[in-house]
Structures are given as structure tokens and as C-alpha cells.
Amino acid sequence: MLCDDPGLGKTITVLSLILRSFGLRTTTAAEASSSEDDDNLFYSYWSSSFLTVHVRRPAILKLINLALKSDGYASWFELPIEHFLKDKSALADYREKISEPICLRDLRYKYDKNDCSDFKTFESEVRLCFSNAMMYYPPDNVAYQAAERMLKKFEDLLSEFKIQQLTDATKSLSRMKKDTNARSLVDAFEAKKREELEEPLVPSSSTLLVVPSSLLDHWEEQMLMHIDFSYISPLNKLNAPLIYYHTSKKSTKAAKRSNPRIALDMKNIVDPIIFIDDGSKELPSEDVLARFPIVLTSYNRFTSDWKNGSVEQEIRASKGRSNGGIYWGEEAPEASPLLKVHWLR
């Protein structure tokens, strides 16, 4: 929240807004999203006009082939059941118990002839191939055990496949944006991208206030004057410091030392409420900042830290290193702790 008006009215209004939502907390990306959301996004993308049959068909056929290569007993599921149950009575028994016999060879033939846009049906048909065996044979039978293994491996293949497809789609957003009919799909991918950027952020109930350096003292005075600290922190001792002033300046320390509400050492903070930063000292970690309901800093600090590197740049550099890549820069960027908190506002 950027504030540059020294007027008393605006200061009190902002403080009132902060205190009205006191205790609310941001959610993490994991809390905000789910695998079901990712699946729905994948299905929308897969059936959209951005993927042609010439892209979808070889991808699905490759998945079938990977499933066939995933287990030494995979050939049992490649051909129709008649190939294995040649005894007429056993075959009749099978058909009585299994209403929809299916094999991977038939699926490969089917998806080599259609547009492959219905991925949900493809998934369910491959699963049915394995679940039929698990329904017909007892658990101690080798066919049941092979089907169980292959079903698990197929689910793993599906998960990897969908992740890769969504990753590729994110890289194609600029092309999607040119299609006016794809606005909702583009919005969904951009929302997913925002969630991925928020994932490493520390959730908090904190408000970040960014003001001109000359107004730090003004905001401090107004907070001391208008915030009922006993209401916010009823368990705290009456005279315990609730404001931590983050500074390395001796003159500032001397001026603040006489105020019982202000601490110059974080060790003296019992129940932290306000963090005031004058920009003269290196910031603590994002985990520490996220503990303070109000963090007050200056434009100079914020703009300087922003120029040093964003969270997105840090993520990209770390992914490059973890994948064996090289970050082409003198130093990999490290974002400021101010940028690593998921601020309530």
C-alpha cells in the first residue's frame, strides 16, 4: 500500500482499514489451487483449437506405447481377451462378468482414426483395460497384479504428460492472446502463472505500507496516537514494546530509546505489531517480516530492492541451476524479503 499524503485524514483512514481486517490471512498457492483445477485447465486446453489432430494424435499414441513398455506383462493387455481365454466356457464366464471388454490394441487403432480431442474418454478407456482384469481375476493372480502395476504406472504417465502439456501451453500464451475467442483460456493460464509465482511466498496477515522517507516519523506518530495496542494485543504487558524500529543510525536510536512502545532490538519484542524500517540496515528474512501485522518502509528502500531482482527472476535462476543449466549473469538475482511475503495488502 503506497501512501504519500501526509494529511491526518488519510492516515487515519488507512489505519482504520488495516485494523478492520486485522487477523485475516492470505492463502498459499497450494491452498488456492488443486489438482482438479489443473486437470480442468488441461482438458480445456487439450480440446481447444490451439492443438490440432496432428499434435494430439501422436501424443496419445505415444502414451499407449509407453504404457505397453512399462511392464514385462504388458502384452497381456495388448490383445483381445479371446487371444488368452480360448476355452469357450472361460470366455463366456469372462463376458458375463465384464460388460465392456477392451484392449490396448483396439484403443491404438481407435485413436489413430479420430481427432483425439476427448482426453477424458481416452483416460477412462485405458483405465478400464486394467480394471477389467482386476475385476475378473483374484488379487493373488499374476494378471491382477500386473494390471494393478500398469494402472499405477499409467497414472504416473498421465500426471507427467499433463504437467508437460500445461508447461508448453504457458509458453504459447502470446499466440493464444491473438484469438479473441480464447480469452477465458488465456485468463485461466495467467491465473495459474500467478499462483506459481505466489507459491514460494510466505503467507501472512500483514499490510505493507510504503511511504516517502520524510513521512516515516509522521506515520509512527499517528500509529502511536490512534492505535489501541491493548485491544490488538490484550495478552501483552501494558508497557511492553510493540513497535520495532529497524535502523543502524545512532542518532535515530538515541531519539527512540526513551519511548517504551518502541524497541530497537528484536529480542525485546514479545508480541510484534509494527515493523518500521528506515532503509539504513539490511532487512531480516521474509519469515520475520510476515510476523508483523504492519510493516512500514520507504519508497527508497522499496524501489532499490525492486531493481535488485524479482521473485520471478530468482525462481528462473534457481530452476536453471537445479536442472543443470547455467544462469548467464554475474550473480543469480535474489529478491528482497519485501517481495517474498504474500502481503494481505
* Model pLDDT, residue 187: 83
Residues 309 and 272 reside in one and the same domain: yes
Does 334 or 331 have the greater pLDDT score? 334
The fraction of the chain above a pLDDT of 70, given in percent, is: 83
Report how many domains make up the chain: 2
Q: Identify each DSSP E strand in the chain by its residue range.
A: 202-203, 207-211, 243-246, 262-263, 274-277, 294-298, 341-342
* pLDDT tens per residue, range 44-67: 899 988 888 999 999 999 999 999
Residues 207 and 159 reside in one and the same domain: no
Mean pLDDT, the chain, as a whole number? Answer: 83
Residues 134 and 252 reside in one and the same domain: no
Does residue 75 form part of some domain?
Answer: yes
106 pLDDT tier (thresholds 50, 70, 90): very high
Kind and range of the H or E element at 46?
helix 35-46
Does residue 94 form part of some domain?
Answer: yes
In this predicted structure, the answer to whether residue 133 has a pLDDT above a threshold of 60 is: yes
Residues 295 and 207 reside in one and the same domain: yes
In this predicted structure, the answer to whether residue 131 has a pLDDT above a threshold of 90 is: yes
CA atoms within 13 A on the CB side of 250: 0
Does 4 or 140 have the greater pLDDT score? 140
| Residue 273 contacts residue 292 (beta carbons within 8 Å) | yes
d(CA 169, CA 193): 11
Residues 156 and 207 reside in one and the same domain: no
Burial of 116 (0-12, 13-18, 19+ CB in 10 A): buried
Does 102 or 273 have the greater pLDDT score? 102
Residues 23 and 35 reside in one and the same domain: no
Does 103 or 258 have the greater pLDDT score? 103
* Model pLDDT, residue 36: 74
What CATH number is associated with residue 132? 1.20.920.10
* Model pLDDT, residue 316: 66
Does residue 69 form part of some domain?
Answer: yes
Residues 244 and 104 reside in one and the same domain: no
d(CA 41, CA 68): 27
* Model pLDDT, residue 32: 46
* Model pLDDT, residue 333: 65
In this predicted structure, the answer to whether residue 318 has a pLDDT above a threshold of 80 is: no
23 pLDDT tier (thresholds 50, 70, 90): low
Q: What is the mean pLDDT of residues 151-156?
A: 96
Last residue of one domain, picked from the residues 157, 183, 198: 198
Q: Which of 94-103, 221-230, 289-298, 326-335 has the lowest mean pLDDT?
A: 326-335
Does 7 or 103 have the greater pLDDT score? 103
Nearest alpha-carbon partner for 293 in 249, 238, 231: 231
Does residue 178 form part of some domain?
Answer: yes
* pLDDT tens per residue, range 220-272: 888 888 877 766 665 555 567 788 899 899 888 888 888 888 888 888 677 77
* pLDDT tens per residue, range 182-232: 788 888 878 877 777 777 788 888 889 999 999 988 888 888 888 777 666
Last residue of one domain, picked from the residues 147, 177, 198: 198
| Residue 182 contacts residue 44 (beta carbons within 8 Å) | no
In this predicted structure, the answer to whether residue 160 has a pLDDT above a threshold of 90 is: yes
Residues 141 and 73 reside in one and the same domain: yes
Does residue 260 form part of some domain?
Answer: yes
Alpha-carbon distance values, 89 to 82, 85, 92, 139, 294 (Å): 12, 9, 5, 22, 77
Domain housing 234: 8-27+201-342
Residues 155 and 222 reside in one and the same domain: no
Residues 16 and 93 reside in one and the same domain: no
Does residue 1 form part of some domain?
Answer: no
Residues 79 and 162 reside in one and the same domain: yes
Residues 194 and 205 reside in one and the same domain: no
Does residue 3 form part of some domain?
Answer: no
Last residue of one domain, picked from the residues 174, 198, 222: 198
Does residue 2 form part of some domain?
Answer: no
